[in-house]
Structure 1
């Protein structure tokens, strides 16, 4: 994360050359993809948990 901040800082200072910009662009895209994947995974997990909880409730009701 630190290198990303450094690149951003360089950009702000207007000292960044084309290479720096390219690296920054690539990195931010990569991060966006990773974050998106993580969110999708979390959503799936949440759904799974809800399904399990619902199923457990159903069985508990049946056994009583």
Structure 2
């Protein structure tokens, strides 16, 4: 399993609220939702290969 690192994030309140609603809709924590959205964006841009992601994390 890959190591997780803490990272402080400054984010617009409206964006944060929208992410929280989305996380609730997908039955994820806010942190897991933010990580999921970032991973998907990295994959789509070709900056993260599927094998670089832990499959357990991918099922969140």
Greater C-alpha radius of gyration? 1
TM-score by length of 1: 0.33
Q: In proportion to residue count, which structure has more helix?
A: 1
TM-score by length of 2: 0.35
